[in-house]
Homo-oligomer: A and B are copies of this chain.
Amino acid sequence: MKRHAFDTAIALTAQPDGAYLGQTSPAYANMVGPFGGVTAAQALNAALQHPDRRGEPVAFTVNYAAALADGPFALHARPARTNRSTQHWVIEMLQAGQTVLTATAVTALRRETWGAGEHSMPNVPRPDAVPPPQGPRPVEWIKRYELRFLEGGLPAAWDDRDHGVSRTQLWVRDDPPRPLDFAALTALSDVFFPRIWRRRARLVPVGTVSMTVYFHADAAQLAATGTGYLLGQAQAQAFRHGYFDQTAQLWNEAGALLVTTHQVVYYKH
């Protein structure tokens, strides 16, 4: 069986000093440098692959400190604190000796408790009732995802007026399909195009500065989700002085909220 492009992209090689080596993936190239979702997945993977890791990710924050150059990088993942059921990771990615990314992760042994959802999946048509996008796919990474927009796709016309709302809803999965895991879920958390493009219908320069992912699913729930579609919803709350936020959710087809995720994005003009 051919190895999935995502597995190739997030593969890391352990070094004798405990660091990991990886490299940016041409299959997930963005306009400049790589797709940030895959960069985040690579960073999380350094903790996931670490021999001292305990438990599954609960919270992950990644800060994009500099544009990545295409090519190799080093990842340092340090368990700063290990408790009975939680572990705290500090992660840093370097290229040519310079920090290009900082991150923290919390992993935990999860247990059965009372549980409840509070943000229910919107009532939308099933994935097979939504056409795949027809338009051009100008960057490589977009081709690695099957995106079926329900609401708020890329503007049909870049008419440069305030559309008043930035919400997007879509069905999404890896293309070709790949069984869901924490690394894939991390990348999918960044699958939404910039909210300011949606709101203003104007292609201003943008770049995610920081993203946080909260994992509500454990490995068993990811296994149950398998290669199914995820419903993604994203919306901004404020655009001001060069930065806007995005708050987003990913549900599986059965309606379970797998991830809530947030980011803050730089924009120009």
Residues of A within 8 A of B (CB): 58-59, 61, 63, 65-66, 80-81, 83, 86, 88, 90, 92, 98-100, 102-104, 106, 108, 110-119, 162, 165-166, 199-200, 209-210, 212, 214, 216-218, 235-243, 245, 247, 249, 257, 260, 262, 264, 266-269
Residue ID in chain B nearest A79 by CB atoms: B99
Most chain B CB neighbours (cut-off 10 Å) among A117, A239, A242, A262:
A242
Query: Shortest beta-carbon distance, A23 to chain B, in Å?
Result: 20
Evaluate contact between B80 and A66: CB separation under 8 angstroms: no
Evaluate contact between A81 and B65: CB separation under 8 angstroms: yes
CA distance A211 to B105 in the complex (A): 12
CA distance A113 to B249 in the complex (A): 28
Evaluate contact between A80 and B104: CB separation under 8 angstroms: no
Query: Shortest beta-carbon distance, A216 to chain B, in Å?
Result: 4
Evaluate contact between B264 and A59: CB separation under 8 angstroms: yes
Evaluate contact between B119 and A237: CB separation under 8 angstroms: yes
| A contacts with B: majority SS | strand
Query: Shortest beta-carbon distance, A114 to chain B, in Å?
Result: 6
Query: Shortest beta-carbon distance, A207 to chain B, in Å?
Result: 10
A83-B66, A116-B199, A199-B118 given as contacts; is B262 within 8 A of A212 (CB)?
yes
A102 contacts which chain B residues (CB < 8 A)?
80-81, 88, 90, 104
Query: Shortest beta-carbon distance, A28 to chain B, in Å?
Result: 23
Residue ID in chain B nearest A87 by CB atoms: B65
A210 contacts which chain B residues (CB < 8 A)?
58-59, 61, 104, 106, 212, 214
CA distance A236 to B191 in the complex (A): 23
A100 contacts which chain B residues (CB < 8 A)?
81
CA distance A30 to B92 in the complex (A): 33
Evaluate contact between B245 and A114: CB separation under 8 angstroms: no
Q: A65-B86, A102-B104, A115-B240 are in contact. List 8 more A-B contacts (CB 8 A).
A: A59-B209, A61-B212, A63-B88, A88-B99, A111-B241, A113-B239, A210-B214, A245-B260
Evaluate contact between B260 and A243: CB separation under 8 angstroms: no
From B65, B165, B245, A80 is in contact (CB under 8 Å) with B65
Evaluate contact between A80 and B59: CB separation under 8 angstroms: no
Evaluate contact between B58 and A238: CB separation under 8 angstroms: no
Closest 8 CB pairs of A and B: A119-B237, A65-B81, A59-B210, A110-B241, A65-B88, A61-B61, A115-B240, A80-B99
Evaluate contact between B162 and A116: CB separation under 8 angstroms: yes
